[in-house]
Structure 1
Amino acid sequence: MNKHPSIVRSTLHESSKHDSGPKHVAGAAEYIDDIVEPVGTMHAYLALSSRAHAEIGSIDFAAVKAAPGVIGVLTAADVPGENDVSPSHKHDEPIFAEGRVQFWGQPLFAVVAETRDQARRAAHLAKVDYTDLPFATNVRAAQAAGGKLVTEPLKLERGDVAAAMASAPRRVRGSIAIGGQDHFYLEGQIAMAIPGEDEDVTVFASTQHPSEVQLMVAHVLGIPLHSVTVNVRRMGGGFGGKETQGNLFAAVAAMAAKKWRRACKIRPDRDDDMTATGKRHDFVVDYDVGYDDNGKIAAVDAVYAARAGFSSDLSGPVTDRALFHCDNAYWYPAVRARSEPLYTNTVSNTAFRGFGGPQGMMAAERWIEDIAYSLGKDPLEIRKANFYGTDTDNVTPYHQTVEDNIVHRVVEELEASSDYQARRAAILAFNAKNAILKKGIALTPVKFGISFTATWYNQAGALVHVYKDGSIHLSHGGTEMGQGLYIKVAQVLADAFCVGLDDIKIMATTTGKVPNTSATAASSGSDLNGMAAWDAARQIKERLVVHAAKLYQCDEAAVLWVPGGVQAGDQFVPFAELVASAYLNRVQLSAAGFYKTPKIHWDRATGQGHPFYYFAYGASVSEVTIDTLTGEYIVDRVDILHDVGRSLNPAIDIGQVEGGFIQGMGWLTTEELVWDDKGQLRTKAPSTYKIPVASDVPPVFNVKLAEWSVNAEPTIGRSKAVGEPPLMLAMSVVEALSMAVASVADYAIAPRLDTPVTPERVLMGCERLKREARG
């Protein structure tokens, strides 16, 4: 009897290296700027407005066209189709401004030249005649100007808020300003377009949403979708900044390529990229919360106002999502939450890791903090008192029942493993003895819903070819931006076919192979594309089983997939041998897989539904030390326990948790966006915009996955999403800083620090609390 060898072991749920890792180290990973340019490639550069809001009287292009190397200029008048790259139905985001500019940095036109330097220099030579108009650049100014909305607001409501608020023994009102964040991807926005015959054009774009770039290019050129092919091998970071923001750059490159019948590439400088592309929405949340003497919340009424920018972009879905996470891990017996996405004369804000969820959660932690300081309790005690239940008290503001609640266990385990209670007692003692240096510690939870709120995006496709030598070609609709999606889906396929990862060739994402893809966003990349690849493998395997049963004269039930091949009765057949014989017997060895997320539905009009397939959970403990004389601080230690279900790749997932936390910490502490009184973004370079660096990583940084967790839903490998949820773990840093600041007034006053909690805000917070404590 021919037994199968044990040389192939499953790599699913194992820590396999990132497929691009060695290439990154060797400098061999190819990005768009590394692609060899076709002979005669042109270069485009955008000319940006220097007014926040103004009528355009005229533009004199004489100096631009006379500049060395200039081939031509593209304006709104040169757009063959529609001058719009908005992802919303409002069609309110022109490629080039027409008649009016609505933010400082809005594209006016593009210069196309022989070299990038020539195009960049010429773009500054136009003479533009402006007539200035009033403008608003922040939430409060927009509200004062009348609160014009850029998209329809949402209201979530459950229970009798008025009655619950009136009967609550205690009540707190307040507001929190939550700052925005620039994506600061290492690879900036970039696109290269190559014209083909007829109407065809091939676009290489750094985008999380190839199908949307395909759609936008087609609309701008006035051609059908089948004439546009978009290719994405990898991105040097995305974080949501390449979900919609790459549309304009791809469209400009494609317009130039088709107009002059030459390849064209466009890549802005970092400062122009930061000026002209959207960011995380900053919010101001006004709240009214009723609660009892034990800190149990009775009612929440809150308005979530956001700086949306000059066009709708994704502000509707982002502000919706903020409301979906206004509860974080907490049960509100009565709740009313309303969004207010406001028009401002700033770049249109867009998707960013968490997609509104972090802002919603941060507000929830603020009123938890308010309640704790009003009662003289540890905020963790208030958090625990308000956690969702497992059998009752488990209906969200959007009327979905939380059926998989594990927040209690996650928090209890982290509280014990981090020695939270003993450390908090030691910190209270330290603060009592030290007048200058003060410490703080906080434990915060995360509950994050997984799925696109727009139900139709919860689908994915994959294309799998098995070649007659047993090698496998994998394509799917997800994009790789460093997060490890490609290797995870390859692990799924290797496990399905019982072969090694070396047998899988991971192909670049292209609309020419897998059409109508969803953005790689909403933390759903592995869930969707992993299941689509698995479905393709299932189809091929079923054909191979029928073939093997016939060839080796056994029942189909006797054909078992084993490491390295199949066991057909008493006969072990290596995978490559099985595939070779299947080819000779005309068995189809290719399949298109498909997956759509089950159970989800959402009715925006009523504010009710089941928008999330499941929830991911986590918790973090942060310890900080502040200097009350300068406001400077350090994050001394962080402990994290995070739920990813049954991890597809623990090494990748731990990296995502670590990276997400640090990025969240940057958003909440150092990354401050500043517009001046002319409406110009001043924090548009590494010299003025401070992302976390290596020295900001806590010296003690303990990160663990909840290895006991298994997704209750039949996701791929019973795993859970890991992209977005870890970012919100950084809320514990803000809460720890709040405790340290509160210590200057003997913890009797809620610090109410706005974010980002910069050293300046820490210092001002300390001084304010000292004054209030003195009366």
Structure 2
Amino acid sequence: MNHPVTPELKAATWTGVGVPRPHESAELHVLGQATYTDDIPELHGTLHAALGLSSKAHARLASLDLDAVRSAPGVVAVYTVSDIPGTNDCGPIIHDDPILADGIVQYVGQPIFIVVADSHTNARRAAKRGVVNYEELPAILTPQQAKAAKSYVLPPMQLLRGDAQAAFEKAPHKVKGQLYVGGQEQFYLEGQIAYAIPKEGKALLVQCSTQHPSEMQHVVAHALGLHSHHVQVECRRMGGGFGGKESQSALWAASAAIAAARTGKPVKLRADRDDDMMVTGKRHCFYYEYEVGYDAEGRIVAAKVDMTSRAGFSADLSGPVATRAVCHFDNTYYLSDVEIHAACGKTNTQSNTAFRGFGGPQGAIAIEYIIDEIARNLGRDPLDIRRLNFYGKIERNQTPYGQVIVDNVIHELVAELEQTSEYRERRAAVAAYNASSPVLKRGLALTPVKFGIAFNVTHLNQAGALVHVYVDGSVLVNHGGTEMGQGINTKVLQVVAHELGLDLERVRITATDTSKVANTSATAASTGADLNGKAAQDAARQIRERLAEFAVRTLGGEISDVRFYGNEVHVNGQSVPFESLVQKAYLARVQLWSDGYYATPNLHWDPKTMNGHPFSYYAYGAAVSEVVVDTLTGEWKLLRADALYDAGQSLNPAIDIGQVEGAFIQGMGWLTTEQLWWNPAGKLMTHAPSTYKIPAISDCPEDFRVRLFQNRNVEDSIHRSKAVGEPPLLLPFSVFFAIRDAISAVGGHRVNPPLNAPATSEEILRAIAAVEAAA
């Protein structure tokens, strides 16, 4: 029986959010028409810059001869630190990060001078001709060396709850150990690039591939000795960022701006991939020492961990990264008595920076490694030990830093994944396979995720937006977030379209621009859609309310009964096309544009006590991975992966599933194939695709099952959705521990394999040899 489609039914079912929508630039991406910074047509007279880099890890600059550089073909100018008119610094928090080296170099790859030439090729060739005489100084290269020398970029931090030492001494069982987890290159497809264009009255336009236009504005203004209102930074989209363009795009923006200001000409600085990897920071590698006490059932009663990161030569964002690592050590587990120490080791290497997860993955993997060891020591399935230690719903629900967890769904989520992935049946099948296979060993692991959402610097949790409605009924939106392929513009577009009752085609989003929305936070910490979606919703809501008031004045009815859906405004039994109402409202002098603002409520944090309520809410997830390992070669293959992720009430399930899939493979690369290696002289040797192995399509599992957990955020996030940028990067912990499980099978699961990350073939073979020797 067919039911009539009533206006009430249409109003109830119409939605602009919560449904799969293609990425707003998908068609442009496919056709090659999407404009990135290097695609912007170059103005007449544009010059090109390149950087002259240090070849020493730590040295004084005894002399610098740049005559050969100046006389090279096509060279227009060469600039050193003495040519910077303002402040020689691009550090985001502490001013310890020079744009150009000043008397001393602190890592191989540190920029010393800027070459400006008539072409990109001529600039790069000329930069190689600088003659630098060094007086070498001792260099520290690893976090272990930094810890031994007490070499830190910031004072070490600690978080204490209860009496971990006393509880540890009383514990019936103990586990002690060390772990090393390597860093990771962001490897965005589009490298670092900035195009600086002089304008009238000392003003400058910088078109830049950056996650933080406002920070670029500040750095450029300071470097040139100008005010922020002189500098306009614009970014339409990035070809990937992953944190590598949050603070580290500043060096490139500042260098291009300095050259443009000095020459009076537009200057483009596009980094070659090798230079990009040599100059820029990566994910922090971590060295851990841990001591954990547990009872006969496997419940943790005391946990002590000391974490030292490789910060590099300057602070950059290492402090906030370490803070998040401390706050994510617990992951999904209640820890009654804890002692967590974290230090940012100062090393003569690239200054490490933000990377998807921002210290959260490095904190959480340590407790997962420990629980994996406890399970093996007790001869239990690791899933059972994990479940035993989960946070409770009513009791055992306060984190070590004092935040009470009110949205815990990890029990239900893991139970669902355990059932849908056939975990128990596959566990038995893996054991049977290994019993009859002396060379190839299979491994299986299920690992959970709890990830806090918000900047752990409270004032950054704010955003602004502008929404313009034109007289033809079309809508233009500008917000403070940046698009790096993750779909923030698509989600914000959906939010505005939903608020005004319009099809997505009627809404357009413009490039992020510091002259439109000021004082923006970085698009980072998984907050992009949360913050900017709320700000854009606020702006659109104000316009909708003005139009609703006008509709009632002209058509009658009650404001509470006005509905916007299906490109129409419905009031007092009448349906008016949206554009018709807008045109009449304009003639009646109704304001058709608005600014919007949002600040995340109820956040507070005391960095001295490391206590407070730093997160708005938590995103949860879990994954099951099955691998096979060749014990003779160390080669491995991911056979199947099942991931279940809590995106709350998803704004766009298609984009969110894509984000989970991408994060899973990226995290898998970090833990398995992506090895950063510095030689004894401090030179990064893995500085190109030929030597740095990111996952390829052949590394992806043939059987890859990703689903979203049905949930609704308890916090008033944008349409009760949850962030999906960083948290799913922790899901491939399951791959690492599945590999460890397969190695453990070599010794009959009686020995804990000493497996560090990344679990390269060489590392796997070392762990196998250790298991065989101990078994």
TM-score (norm: length of structure 2): 0.98
Cα 1:8–1:231 change in 2 (3 A) is farther
Letter aligned with residue 49 of structure 1: S
Unaligned stretches of 5+ residues in structure 2: 1-5
- Which of 113, 118, 122 matches 1:114? 118
Residue 130 of structure 1 is matched in structure 2 by 134
Query: Does structure 1 residue 478 correspond to structure 2 residue 497?
Result: no
Structure 1, gaps ≥5 residues long: none
Distance (whole Å) between structure 2 residues aligned to residue 295 and residue 453 of structure 1: 32
Give secondary structure in 2 for the equivalent of 1:355. Answer: coil
Q: Residue 638 of structure 1: SS of its match in structure 2?
A: strand
Confirm or deny: 8 A CA contact 2:441 2:628 kept in the other structure.
yes
For 2:62, the equivalent position in structure 1 comes to 57
Residues 185-228 of structure 1, C-alpha deviations (whole Å, 9 max, x = no match): 00000000100011200000000000000000000001000110
Q: Which residue matches 1:31?
A: 36
Question: Within 5 A, what are the aligned runs for 1:519-558?
Answer: 519-558=522-561
Query: How many angstroms does 1:7 deviate by?
Result: 13
Give the share of equivalent positions with the same residue, in percent.
Answer: 53
SS of the aligned residue for 2:732 comes to helix
- Alignment match, 1:743: 745
Shift of 1:29: 0.6
Q: Work out whether residues 445 and 625 of structure 2, in 8 Å CA contact, stay in contact via their aligned partners in 1.
A: yes
* 2:89 equivalent in structure 1: 84
Paired position in structure 1 for 2:108 = 104
Deviations 1:423-470 (A, max 9, x none): 001111111111111000000000000000000110000000000110
Does structure 1 retain, via aligned residues, the 8 Å contact 2:11–2:563?
A: no
1:119 CA displacement: 0.6
Measured in 2, the distance between the counterparts of 1:752 and 1:334 equals 26
Give the aligned partner of residue 269 of structure 2: 266
Aligned equivalents of 1:656 and 1:7: distance in 2? 29
- Do the aligned residues in 2 keep the contact of 1:233 with 1:509 (CA within 8 Å)? yes
Name which of structure 1's ranges 568-577 and 243-252 shifts more when overlaid on structure 2: 568-577
Hey, what's the Cα distance between the residues in 2 that align with 1:502 and 1:234? 19
Matched, 1:759 2:764: no
With over 3 angstroms needed to count, the CA separation of the structure-2 counterparts of 1:9 and 1:53, relative to structure 1, is same
| 1:414 aligned residue (408, 413, 417) | 417
CA distance in 2, matches of 1:561, 1:633: 55
Alignment of 1:619-634 (within 5 A): 619-634=622-637
- 1:75 alignment partner, one of 62, 74, 80: 80
SS at match of 1:702: strand
**What CA distance in whole angstroms lies between the structure 1 residues aligned with 2:11 and 2:399?**
49
1:163 CA drift (Å): 2.0
Question: Map of 1:134-213 to 2, 5 A cutoff?
Answer: 134-144=138-148, 146-213=149-216
Q: For residue 299 of structure 1, what is the aligned residue in structure 2?
A: 302
Between stretches 125-134 and 146-155, larger displacement belongs to 146-155
Q: Is 1:252 paired with 2:255? A: yes
In 2, the alpha carbon distance for the partners of 1:637 and 1:697 equals 9
1 CA distance for matches of 2:111 and 2:561?
65
Instruction: Measure how far apart 1:2 and its partner are.
Output: 11
* Residue identity matched to 1:588: Q
Question: Which segment drifts farther, 386-395 or 546-555?
Answer: 546-555
Query: Which stretch of structure 1 is more off in the superposition, 760-769 or 662-671?
Result: 760-769
Counterpart code for 2:74 = G
Partner amino acid, structure 2, of 1:701: F
Shift of residue 743 of structure 1? 0.7
**What is the RMSD of the two structures over their aligned residues, measured on CA atoms?**
1.3
Partner of 1:318, secondary structure, is: helix
- Report how far residue 567 of structure 1 moved: 1.6
- Shift, 1:154, TM fit: 2.0
- Take 1:504 and 1:333, find their aligned partners in 2: how far apart are those partners? 50
Matched, 1:432 2:429: no
Change (3 A) 1:575 1:389: same
| Counterpart amino acid of residue 343 in structure 2 | E
SS at match of 2:628: strand
Equivalent pair of 2:754/2:770 in contact (CA under 8 Å): no
For structure 1, which segment, 557-566 or 696-705, has the greater mean C-alpha deviation from structure 2 after superposition? 557-566
The letter of the residue matching 2:55 is: S
What SS does the aligned partner of 1:581 have? helix
**1:300-343, CA deviations, whole angstroms, 9 ceiling, x for partnerless residues?**
01111000000000000001110010011001111111111010
Describe how 1:313-462 pairs up with structure 2 within 5 A: 313-462=316-465
2:3 aligns with none
> 2: CA distance between counterparts of 1:752 and 1:487?
44
For residues 474-527 of structure 1, the C-alpha deviation after alignment (integer angstroms, 9 at most, x for no partner) is: 000000000000000000000000000000011111001000000000000010
2-side partners of 1:558 and 1:156: how far apart? 53
Q: Residue 415 of structure 2 aligns to a residue in which SS?
A: helix
CA deviation after TM superposition for structure 1 residue 261, in Å? 1.0
Distance 1:257 1:109 in 2: 15
SS in 2 for 1:223: coil
Residue 735 of structure 1 aligns to which amino acid in structure 2? F
**1:557 Cα shift?**
2.8
Equivalent residues of 1:241, 1:350 under 8 A apart: yes
For residue 256 of structure 2, give the secondary structure of its aligned residue in structure 1. helix
Matches within 5 A, 1:560-709: 560-706=563-709, 708-709=710-711
- Contact between 1:3 and 1:572, CA under 8 Å: does it hold in 2? no
Contact 1:526 1:721 in 2 (8 A): yes
Q: Displacement of 1:126 after TM fit? A: 1.1
How many residues were matched structurally?
Answer: 770
Shift of 1:6: 8.2
CA-CA distance at 1:767 after TM superposition: 1.3
**Aligned match of 2:291:** 288
C-alpha distance in 2 between matches for 1:10 and 1:584: 29
CA contact (8 A) 1:8 1:499 kept: no
* Residues 146 and 152, structure 2, Cα contact 8 Å, conserved in 1: no
After TM superposition, give the deviation of residue 138 of structure 1 in Å.
Answer: 0.6
Question: Do the aligned partners of 1:358 and 1:728 also contact (CA within 8 Å) in 2?
Answer: yes
The one-letter amino acid paired with 1:607 is M
Following the alignment from structure 2 to structure 1, what is the Cα–Cα distance between the partners of residues 337 and 505? 55
Per-residue CA distance 1:534-593 (angstroms, 9 max, x = gap): 000111111111111111133323323333222221221111011100000000001000
Judging changes above 3 Å, is the alpha-carbon distance between structure 1 residues 8 and 365 closer, same or farther for their aligned structure 2 residues? closer
Q: CA deviation at 1:399?
A: 0.7
Alpha-carbon distance in 2 for matches of 1:581, 1:114 = 55
**1:497–1:565 Cα contact (<8 Å) kept:** no
Q: Which amino acid aligns with 1:757?
A: A
| 3-state secondary structure, aligned to 1:333 | coil
Aligned-pair distance for 1:5? 8.5
CA distance in 2, matches of 1:752, 1:621: 22
1:607: Cα distance to partner? 1.1
Taking the aligned partners of 2:154 and 2:745, their CA distance within structure 1 comes to 42
The amino acid that maps onto 2:478 is S
For the 8 Å contact 1:205–1:230, the answer to whether it is kept is: yes
The residue number in structure 1 matching 2:728 is: 726
